[in-house]
Structure 1
Amino acid sequence: METLANLESFVRSAESGSFSTAARRLALTPAAVSRNVAMLERNLGVRLFQRSTRKLTLTEAGERFLQAIEGNLAGLQAAIAGVATDQGEPAGTLRVSMSPTFGIDHILPLLPAFLARYPRIRPDWQFENRQVDLIAEGFDAAIGGGIELAPGVVARPLAPAHIIAVASPAYMKGRIPPADPAGLAALDGIVMRSSRTGRVRHWTMRNAAGIEVPSALPETIITNDPAAMCRAATLGLGATMVAVPDVLAQLEGGTLVRLAPKWYADAGSISLYYASKTLLPAKTRAFIDFVAEAFRRERLAERFAGSLA
């Protein structure tokens, strides 16, 4: 009887044409994936791949075998996950992607309590400003906002993603605080250029009455990272527009103040993203429920809402 690890290594390698890519999806080393496939070939007595320095190519026998098992692999994985959920303690490597500022400020502090509750889970968390492909890259979950849903991925909203204008008290000293988006035009602007599109992002702001007005923040300083924008603002270099979670600590500590306080831009929701499966692995379900519970307990949805300030 073949092990699930050998079958998973074969299927993921066939899908990607690479042991290295399959290894990233399975949270293994390329050498381990290669060994699993070699063991499967040895046990079956056939060669499943033609190997070259550039890529893997299925043999005729490999193509037949892939067609025979590919549709059944998900069922086997779900069955194993279901047994673990019902009878076993959540365990294993938990791969999660999140943005650096949001993840470090609001998710990483949850880790001590999470590991105290689930000591057999091993976090493998990636902090980066990009949208990952959960399924292709082998992530169990991702946290972020404005992510396009790929087939097979679902989103669980946690809090609103509201963008507000801020500046330091020192920068605003002697200046008239803008009461609406039009007033931002008189300030030095710290804006963000998208690494994906190459364009500078400008926001349309709204108020409680539903009136929408384009923000008029000048492009005085351009960067590509929200953390850099916040830091530049605290240094007194100008005003910037960022998500509430990224500046919550500075606002509460008084190092930044909100401008045009009745106005905000709506960027959608901050959500937990995970692959849609009939039975989620116990480790993934534990993480999703733990984070959602923490957001409710800390009232983060309300604290992140620029519309309530």
Structure 2
Amino acid sequence: MDTLRSIESFVKAVQAGSIAAGARLQGITAAAASQNIQRLEKSLGTRLLVRTTRKLAMTESGELYYAEVQHLVEELARAQSAVTEFHGQPQGRLRIGASVAFGRHVLMPLIPAFTRSFPKVSIEIVLSDSNLDHVTEEIDVSIRFKEQLEPGLVARKIATVPVLYCASPDYLQRKGVPQVPEELSAHTCLMYRVPVDGRLFGWAFERNGIRYAPVIKPGIVCNDIDSLRCLAVEGAGITRLAAFVARDDLETGALVALFQAGPVSDTQAGHSVQSESVPLEFYACFRDKHAVTNKVRALMDYLVSAIPQTW
């Protein structure tokens, strides 16, 4: 068992980029992890890691050994989960990753009912608008919208959420109400900058089955959706919000949804058309098919049944 613990310390250190970060994943001190790795190196009779002040690097022997044992830790964790869940309720730690807005507005209100149904499952939730690494951060399942999907992850669609373009009544009284997306170019647009790659999240519409993006000029840019919602409520401009973010403000009248009426006349085309915003599609993502344990499957089934089909 000591050897397995030492192997785990070595693998976690490599995956996390440092012995201290790997130790945190194990729930032990950096000193204990370092001692584990030293014992492993002594038993193997070779150096596995080169420790410098700036980074951690593997020796040639370390690379060979890592290639052989990196899956061992994951297989042991899956085996333990399978045994503990055998003939019983899902149990053990379930680490969930999600974007900040989805976590606040959708996931958090649903989790208490899930934990009441599965009291032996210990939930840990990591909210971040950056892509979470399933291995180094030990994420069992992450909730991502379509544009965040990464190659290699297994994804299951769990929700389609309408996107609404919103502004305060005060702003619309001062600046006028755009009737078609093309008129957004004359308005102050509050846009979201994606933390992962720094790009502005585009505003997309569909008309007659064709997707297009109108020309817009960003007035204010922010990397937090709820902050953009606050700016819109205060009359700073028009912003793009998922329905679950805008819902409460729409109900109170603090925000007004645009482009929601029936067909509008397109003078250039000479006929009535309707522009619709492109919705957000959310997916539950796993490292691989083996990561879908009983507790993960229970969460997925619960989310699919609990998340509204219409908003």
Tell me the TM-score normalized by structure 2. 0.79
Range with bigger deviation, 116-125 or 105-114: 116-125
2:132 partner SS: coil
Map 1:80-159 → 2, pairs under 5 A: 80-145=80-145, 146-151=147-152, 153-159=153-159
Query: Could you tell me how far apart the structure 2 residues matched to 1:68 and 1:191 are?
Result: 46
Q: What are the within-5 Å matches in structure 2 for residues 158-237 of structure 1?
A: 158-173=158-173, 176-207=176-207, 209-237=208-236
Q: Distance in 2 between matches of 1:288 and 1:62?
A: 38
> What is the total number of aligned residue pairs between the two structures?
296
Residue 274 (structure 2) pairs with residue 275 (structure 1):
no
Q: Does the 8 Å CA contact 1:96/1:140 hold for their aligned counterparts?
A: yes
Q: Which runs of 5+ in 1 are unaligned?
A: 304-309
Q: Which residue of 2 aligns with 1:291?
A: 303
Match of 1:10 in 2: 10
Task: Give the CA deviation at 1:50.
Answer: 4.7
Q: Describe the superposition over 1:247-277 as per-residue Cα deviations: whole angstroms up to 9, x where unpaired.
A: 1222233221111125444265111112213
Instruction: Kindly state the Cα deviation for residue 282 of structure 1 after the two structures are TM-superposed.
Output: 3.6
CA contact (8 A) 1:155 1:272 kept: yes
Over 3 Å counting, the alpha-carbon distance change for 1:277 and 1:254 in structure 2 is same
For the residues of structure 1 that align with 2:17 and 2:23, how far apart are their CA atoms?
11
Higher alpha-carbon deviation: 225-234 or 119-128:
119-128
CA contact (8 A) 1:25 1:135 kept: no
Shift of the 268–242 alpha-carbon distance from structure 1 to 2, 3 Å rule, reads: closer
Residue 258 of structure 2 aligns with which residue? 259
Gaps of 5+ in 2: 261-273
**Alpha-carbon offset, residue 78 of structure 1:** 3.1
Q: Is the CA contact 2:98–2:143 (under 8 Å) kept in the aligned structure 1? A: yes
Identity %: 28
Match for residue 307 of structure 1? Answer: none
Q: Offset at 1:108?
A: 0.7
Q: Secondary structure at the match of 2:179?
A: coil
Q: Does 1:302 align with 2:302?
A: no
Q: Name the aligned partner's letter for residue 266 of structure 1.
A: V
Within 1, Cα distance between the matches of 2:91 and 2:245? 31
The equivalent residue for 2:238 is: 239
Aligned-partner SS, 2:217: coil
State the Cα distance separating 1:107 from its structure 2 match. Answer: 0.6
**3-state DSSP of counterpart to 1:158:** strand
Equivalent AA in structure 2 for residue 270 of structure 1: F
Query: Superposition RMSD on alpha carbons, in Å?
Result: 3.2
CA distances 1:26-76 after superposition (whole Å, capped 9, x unpaired): 56554554455456568x475664563535555777666545544555443
2: CA distance between counterparts of 1:221 and 1:80?
50
Distance 1:287 1:7, change over 3 A: farther
Seen in structure 2, the aligned counterparts of structure 1 residues 63 and 271 have a Cα distance that, compared at 3 Å, is closer
> Cα deviations across residues 124-157 of structure 1 (Å, max 9, x unaligned)?
2222211112223321121121213232x21111
CA distance in 2 between counterparts of 1:287 and 1:39 reads 39
Offset from partner CA, 1:5-24 (integer Å, 9 cap, x none): 44333333345552233245
TM (norm. structure 1) is: 0.79
Name which of structure 1's ranges 164-173 and 60-69 shifts more when overlaid on structure 2: 60-69
Partner of 1:78: 78
Distance 2:4 2:49 in 1: 22
